[in-house]
Structure 1
Amino acid sequence: MNFKNQIEFLKELQRNNNKEWMDTNRKWYKEVRNEFIGWLDSMNTRLSVLDDEYYDTPGKKGINRINNNLMFHPNKPVYKDHFGAGFDKKPKTADFYFELGIDRCIFAGGLWRPEPKVLRSVRDAIDYDGEELQKILNKKSFKNLFGELYEDAKLTKSPKGFSNDHKHIELLRHKTFGVETTFSTEQTFNENFDEKLIEVYTEMLPFRRYLNKAITV
């Protein structure tokens, strides 16, 4: 799919980030949204054959709202500057997220600031077999694509129940277990962009499987 129509819409929306402009251009918005949903549907079908446990996520179910939540973020503009969607969106599992923005697109996945019970399960898994997670993170192709774990909230000391000299203390201190990689918006115009998404999804899959096993076992 060529995302130029979506990018052009987003650029104009950011120049006119208000309900009046959106109402006037509602037909255009529905056009680019439906095109995006159609692409999500096709990728959902392709990704489903890569994992026996893939959770079917049609485009209408995976796509995020373009409105910002002004109740919790009153200082944000009315509308976002990107189209976002999730694949393999089984509730309460590590996610896989795609974001198409004006300046870049993002692939991300994992657990973002999970609730204490879930976070404890991940830490217990690391305590039991953290070597397996470290092996995934250290894989050359994984590091080349994602680098390190996403730098978010992180403890300065050991979490409760774990010693400061634990062999996996650096992993245990994380509150978010996620990774991401970015591409320029121009790269989304390439004919092989769909293959890039599949490449990223496949590379991230062992990481997400480790987390899902930790929180479901």
Structure 2
Amino acid sequence: MHIRDLTQFLAELSENNNRAWFVMNKPRYDILRAEFLELVTALIADISKFDPAVAGCNPKKALFRINRDMRFSKEKIPYKTHFSAAINANGLKKPSQGGGPTYYFHINETGTLLLAAGEWMPPSERLRAIRQHVIDDAAGFSKLLKNKKLKETYGDLQQEGKLTRPPKGFDADVPHLEYIKLKNFIVWREIEVRKVADLGKTLASDFKDAYPLVTWMRQA
């Protein structure tokens, strides 16, 4: 994957986010997307070595489209300024589709590599199941939070957007209340992609560190 070419293309796209520019530069995009597909294909194979459940994930379907959905957005720019992919056992990218625990990464126009694992904004029934799993497997969840590799690579579960009070149907004295207030159950980290010596190896290694979270969530 030619990272410098990718970030250069995305930087130019962010400054010229319109259809005319994109059409003129589509040959560049097609080459970069093909390289990104190769990266994701190899990554699925590498993840499958420690997580066989994702072996059947279709790499083409794992890639997100670069076109933005502008139907409900106030920002009417037509294209995303990052390349992204989501890998999971169900082959469903969107949380609303019930994709389950997912390995996600993207590279954006500033050259930032973001890696994440878990579930972002899961549907209400799924979120309730995860919260209940925290209670039912309080000891297992405590062990997960203390996992050395997970903590070293990602730190704690992300706390952004959590509820201020216990969610409906959950008492204030339940185990791990602060985690039950979460709307998302994910870990993530950001790296300057130019500092990454081997992108595929780094992605596979960091996702392996997140595997304990993925397996715990699959039990919910």
With normalisation by structure 1, the TM-score equals 0.90
Q: CA shift at 1:171, angstroms?
A: 1.4
Q: CA shift at 1:122, angstroms?
A: 0.9
Verify the 8 A CA contact 2:68 2:78 in the aligned structure 1.
yes
With normalisation by structure 2, the TM-score equals 0.89
Deviation beyond 4 Å, 4+ runs, structure 1: none
Q: CA shift at 1:24, angstroms?
A: 0.8
Verify the 8 A CA contact 1:101 1:185 in the aligned structure 2.
no
* Percentage of pairs with the same residue: 28
The code of the aligned residue for 2:205 comes to E
Q: Residues of 2 paired with 1:52 and 1:39: CA distance?
A: 18
The code of the aligned residue for 2:171 comes to S
Verify the 8 A CA contact 2:167 2:180 in the aligned structure 1.
yes
Alignment-derived partner of residue 95 in structure 2: none
- SS across alignment from 2:207: helix
The code of the aligned residue for 2:107 comes to L
Q: Residues of 2 paired with 1:94 and 1:179: CA distance?
A: 11
- SS across alignment from 2:21: helix
Alignment-derived partner of residue 175 in structure 2: 167
- SS across alignment from 1:207: helix
Q: Residues of 1 paired with 2:76 and 2:219: CA distance?
A: 36
Q: CA shift at 1:55, angstroms?
A: 4.4
The code of the aligned residue for 1:72 comes to F
Alignment-derived partner of residue 16 in structure 2: 16
Verify the 8 A CA contact 1:64 1:84 in the aligned structure 2.
yes
Q: Deviations over 1:4-57 (max 9, x none)?
A: 221111111112111000111111111111111111112122222222322422
Alignment-derived partner of residue 185 in structure 1: 193
Q: Within the alignment, does 1:44 sit opposite 2:50 as a pair? A: no
Alignment-derived partner of residue 208 in structure 2: 202
Q: CA shift at 1:141, angstroms?
A: 2.7
Alignment-derived partner of residue 129 in structure 2: 121
- SS across alignment from 2:53: coil
RMSD: 1.6
Verify the 8 A CA contact 2:166 2:180 in the aligned structure 1.
yes
Unaligned runs of 5+ in 2: 93-97
49-58 or 64-73, larger mean C-alpha shift: 49-58
Q: 1:136 aligns with which of 129, 144, 150?
A: 144
Unaligned runs of 5+ in 1: none
Q: CA shift at 1:71, angstroms?
A: 0.8
